[in-house]
Structure 1
Amino acid sequence: MAKVLIVSDSHGLTSELVELKNRHEHEVDLMIHCGDSELEATDNAIENFVTVRGNCDYEIRYQDDVLEETAGKKFFVTHGHLYSVKSSLISLLYRAQEHQANIVCFGHSHILGAEMVQGILFINPGSLRLPRRRMERTYVILDIKEENVYLHVFDFDQGEIMELRDTFTLNK
C-alpha cells in the first residue's frame, strides 16, 4: 500500500508546490513532478519531489526519465516531450514496456488524463499553472492497494473533484 502525489507543468510556481507539500506530505509515500517546474534542483519548493527535466527546464541535475518503485509497482516518470505525447502515447508505451513499468507519469500537454494502455496505467496530472481543456489547476494522488490503483484528482483551489475518482486494476 502506498500513496503517490503527481504534479506537472507548474512553470515557475513555488508557493503552490510548497502548499502541496504542506497539504499532503504527511499522507503520501512519494511525490513526483513530471517536469517544467522551471526551478533549480536546490529550490526549496521542489525539495522532496522526484523530478524530471521538461522542455522548459534548464536544470542539468534533472534527468529526462526516472524509474521509481513503491508498493511493488514500478513508475516510469518523464515529461513527455521526448516521446511526442501530444500526438500519441505509442513511443511512451514502448519505453514503459522496455522498463517493465506498471505506471507511467508524464506531463507536457497540460491535459489531465488517466488511461490503461496494454495493462500499463498512464497518468497526466494536468498543469498547476496553465491547464488545458479544463479550468481547474489539477494534480493527482494515486492510492495503491495491491493490484488496484484508486485515482483522486484535485483542483488546487477547491480540493478533490469527486466525479473524477476512478479505479484501475494493474496486471500482476
Structure 2
Amino acid sequence: MKNSFIQIQNTNMKEYILIAFLSLITILTPIKPFIMLITFFVAADTIMAIAGNIKKYGIKAYKSTKLFNIVVKTLFYCSSIVAVFFIDKFIFESSILGINLLLTKITTLLWCYIEIKSLDETSMNYYGNKSLWVYLKELFKKGKELKKDLNEIIEDDEEKKE
C-alpha cells in the first residue's frame, strides 16, 4: 500500500514538472528564431576556427578542451536573449516605439555582430582573406556601377524610341 502511494505522488510530481516545462517552452516560442540564429553563428564561427587552426598548424594543434567555450558562449548568449525577452514581454508589454520585441531584436543583433566580426577575423587570420567589410564595399561599388550602366541603357532605349 505504501509503495503504490509513493508511485502516485511521483507520477503527479512528474506531471507537474512536465506541465511547468511545457509552459516555459510555450512562453519562449516567440524567441525561437533568435535562439536558433545565434546558435548558428556560434557554430559557424567554431567550425571555421577549428578548420583554420587545423589548416594552419596541423591536426596536432587541435585541442578539444577549448571546445567547452562553445557551451559557455552559447548559454550566455541564449540566456541574455531570454532575459531581455522577459523584460520586453512583461515590462514593456512586447512593444517599444511600435516595434514588437525591440530589445530582444537589438540584443540578438549585437551578439550576431560579434560573431560575424569573429568570423571575419578568423577568415583573415587563418585563410588570408580580405576583410568582409572590404568585400561589402566592393559589392556596393559594383552595384552602383551596374545601376549606372542600366540607367544609361534605359535612357538610350528611350531616345531610340522617340
TM-score (norm 2): 0.19
Return the structure number with greater strand share: 1
Select the structure of larger CA radius of gyration: 2
TM-score (norm 1): 0.18
Return the structure number with greater helix share: 2
Tell me which of the two structures has the higher relative contact order, counting C-alpha pairs closer than 8 angstroms and 6 or more residues apart: 2
